[in-house]
Amino acid sequence: MLHKRIYQFLIIYFLGLSALFIVKYSLELSDYVIPSPAEVWSAARQYFFSFFINSVNTLCVAILGHMISICLATAVAIIGSKTNWIGSFIKIGAYNIQAYPIVAVAPIIFILFGDGLSSRLLITAMICYFPLLLSFIGVFSEPVAHIEHFYNSTGQMTWWLPIKIRLFENISKLITVISGSATVAMVGTIVAEFIAADAGIGYRIRIALYQSDLAKILVALFLIGICTSLYLFVLEYSGTRIKKKLDIPAEGSQ
Amino acid sequence: MHINLNAIDFRHGKTDTRVFENTSYRIDGPGFNALFGPSGVGKTTLAKIIAGKADHNSRFSGSIDKEGISVILYTYNLERLPNWYSIEEHFRAVCPASAKKLLNELTEISGLKPVINSRFSRLSLGQQNRANLIRYLIQDFDVLIMDESLANVDEITKQKIILKIKSAFPDKIFLYISHNVVEVAKFCKEILVIRRPERLPQIKKVSGFDFAGEREPGQGRLEHIMLEIMNAS
């Protein structure tokens, strides 16, 4: 699973890099616009380690922000699924807020919190939160009639049981949604670092951008891709293990 | 103990299809009865009306009087048990202390013992239906409506289960929905043949053989009941 993800990323990355060099040499662009392969290699050798540390820093913030948004979305979706009017209110609110680009709010967070970990974390969590909330509300609000019928009919339904049933029945869907939002978390963190950070790979890219140093940016992109692939692998692997442990049948078999 | 359906009118909400019009019927006393009729005629709808689970979007008028009945349970063959426990753990979780002996007997008779430690998704369709039915049978009820609850179960096991139900619950009302004319003719006390609204009366009663395990019905008697059912439907 991991090597497939890494191979896929490497193929895409080197195809993109090749396309860049083809453009450079076919249009005879200067090294200032698009650096030569030798220059990229030199930047890689020089900055790989420090950029790697920065990428790991970004990854840690992305994971933390992602986890915060998952916990928050779960809690709010459970509350929303329990009361009709609260559920409708949250759903409509989440739809409207999700339609608004959260990144546009990031400068306000920067003004209020300054640059640093709290701003990065908050922007990351906000970017992840609303898409997750919509999916979670959908899952927790939709009764699984064929299972819940017995408990409703016999008066054995508890407060927690419908949540457990819906969670269990939709575990594959939830794992897919969480894995999918991992990329959003990484994007959110990097965007936050562009705006409001003094660390992380997004911050390094911003500095490289000011220096118009595309070689450094290409090295940073490589490390971002590797880190994202690693995180996605961990989530997908954990999801597979959870499904196996819970004996969840393959999707579409029921 | 009886259920009295008085002038039931029922139309489906979305399609406004008329299902029952001024239909009345009385189910008297305990026994194993059947709801029989072609697909789409309204067996499940009637069962849900009796169980108080009719679709809220539908138009319903009339009344249902019940005497000596407080709990009506409705079970159907598409129900599933959550997959987080084995069948045994599920049974244990929903079984009242007073029904433990009955649970053991039902598990034995229904042939679920060998798969009792499996999870629901690992069972065959017939085993799933039996597991679902058993958890209803161990609950407290006065009327149990079994909507194709023994579908996909082999004839021998089906007979064992029905005979066990009849002997274990002599004071309860069962409404058994099935498309199998032989089994309703053989096992049921009364067969409520449901017909399309154009045909009046919409529910016609046929007396079944009500086989309880003592004396097998003769071929001629069974054929006669089956013919009556087919003529009525």
List CB contacts (< 8 A) between B81 and chain A: 147, 150
State the pLDDT confidence band at B183, using cuts at 50, 70 and 90.
very high
How far apart, in Å, are the Cα atoms of B78 and each of A157, A254, B64? 19, 11, 26
Structural domain range at position A60: 2-245
The mean-pLDDT minimum among A17-31, A160-174, B196-210 falls in B196-210
Give the separation between CA A31 and CA A33, rounded to whole angstroms.
Answer: 5
In percent, the amount of chain A with pLDDT more than 70 equals 97
User: What's A161's domain CATH number?
Assistant: 1.10.3720.10
Q: Band of the pLDDT at A253, cuts 50, 70, 90?
A: very low
Mean of all residue pLDDT scores within chain A: 87
- Interface membership of A165 toward B (CB under 8 Å): yes
Q: What is the mean pLDDT of residues B14-29?
A: 85
Region B174-193: mean pLDDT is: 94
Mean pLDDT for A39-58 is: 93
- Show me where the domains of chain B are located: 2-178
Q: What is the mean pLDDT of residues A202-209?
A: 91
Picking from A39-43, A123-127, B79-83, B204-208, which range would have the lowest pLDDT averaged per residue?
Answer: A123-127
Give the nearest chain A residue to B84 (CA atoms).
Answer: A246
* Closest C-alpha to A198, from A58, A103, A62: A58
User: Does residue A95 sit within a domain?
Assistant: yes
Nearest to A136 by CA among A102, A100, A181: A181
Q: Which residues of B touch A246 (CB under 8 A)?
A: 83-84
For residues B30-57, average pLDDT: 89
Per-position DSSP letters for B111-162, written without gaps between them: T-GGGTTSBGGGS-HHHHHHHHHHHHHTS--SEEEEESTTTT--HHHHHHHH
Q: For the residues B161-173, what does the mean pLDDT come to?
A: 94
Q: Is residue A158 less than 8 Å (CB to CB) from chain B?
A: no
Looking at the predicted structure, is the pLDDT value of residue A138 above 90?
Answer: no
Nearest to A168 among B51, B78, B82 (CB): B82
Q: Average pLDDT of chain B? A: 91
Instruction: Determine the length of chain A.
Output: 254
Residues of chain A contacting B80 with CB distance shorter than 8 Å? 146-147, 254
Q: Does A146 touch chain B (CB under 8 A)?
A: yes
pLDDT above 90: percentage of residues in chain A: 50
| pLDDT at A252 (0 to 100) | 46
- pLDDT value of position A124: 87
Angle formed at CA B82 by CA B78 and CA B87, multiple of 5 degrees:
95
Please, which pLDDT band fits residue B199 given cuts at 50, 70 and 90? Answer: confident
Structural domain tally of chain A? 1
Q: For B71-108, write each residue's pLDDT tens digit.
A: 999 999 999 999 889 999 999 999 999 999 999 999 99
Residue A254 has pLDDT above 50, yes or no: no
Chain B residue closest to A151 (CA)?
Answer: B94
Whole-number pLDDT of residue A250: 56
> What are the two backbone dihedrals, phi and then psi, of residue B178, each rounded to the nearest 5 degrees?
-155, 155
DSSP 8-state symbol, B170: T
CB contact under 8 A, A146 and B73: no
Cβ atoms of residues B188 and B208 within 8 Å: yes
Pairing of strands B31-36, B173-177: parallel
Residue B3 pLDDT > 60, yes or no?
yes
Distance from CA of B73 to the nearest CA of A (A): 6
Q: Is the Cβ pair B79, A149 closer than 8 Å?
A: yes
For A154, the closest of B51, B80, B139 (CB atoms) is: B139
Beta-carbon separation of B121 and A249 below 8 A: yes
- Complex confidence, ipTM: 0.92
Please report whether residue A252 resides in a domain. no
Contact A153 B73 (CB under 8 A): yes
Cβ-based contacts of A250 with chain B (< 8 Å): none
Q: How large is the average pLDDT for residues B171-199? A: 92
- Determine the average pLDDT of the residues in B28-56: 89
B68 phi and psi, to 5 degrees?
75, 20
Task: Examine residue A184 and state whether it is found in any structural domain, yes or no.
Answer: yes
Spatial separation of the C-alpha atoms in residues B1 and A251, rounded to whole Å: 46
**Statement: residue A151 has pLDDT above 60:** yes
Class of domain B2-178: alpha beta
State the burial class of residue A52 (Cβ atoms within 10 Å of its Cβ: 0-12, 13-18, 19+). Answer: middle
Instruction: Kindly state whether B82 is in contact with chain A, defined as any CB-CB distance less than 8 angstroms.
Output: yes
Cα dihedral B35→B39→B44→B49 (10° resolution) = -90
Over residues B98-134, the pLDDT tens digits come to: 999 999 999 999 999 999 999 998 999 999 999 999 9
pLDDT > 50? residue B220: yes
- Identify the CA nearest to A122 among candidates A68, A165, A48, A50: A68
Q: CB of A84 within 8 Å of any CB in chain B?
A: no
Contacts across the A-B interface (CB distance below 8 Å): 45
Mean pLDDT of B19-41: 90
Query: Has residue A85 got a pLDDT over 60?
Result: yes
Residue A112 backbone zone (phi > 0: left; psi -120 to 50: alpha; other: beta)? alpha
Tokens of B210: 């009500």
- Is residue B22 pLDDT above 80, yes or no? yes
Structural domain includes residue A47: yes
Quote the DSSP letter at residue B200.
S
Shortest Cα distance, chain A CAs vs residue B58, angstroms: 18
Note whether A45 contacts B: Cβ–Cβ < 8 A. no
- With 80 as the cut, is the pLDDT of residue A244 above it? yes
CB contact under 8 A, B79 and A147: yes
Q: Which residue in A154, A165, A247 is closest to B119 by CB distance?
A: A247
A72 has a pLDDT exceeding 80: yes
The pLDDT confidence band at residue A18, using thresholds 50, 70 and 90, is very high
Q: Say whether residue A149 is in contact with chain B using an 8 A CB cutoff.
A: yes
How much of chain B, in percent, has pLDDT values that exceed 90? 66
At A117 the pLDDT is 85
Q: Is the pLDDT of residue A251 over 60?
A: no
What are A231's two structure tokens? 């995180």
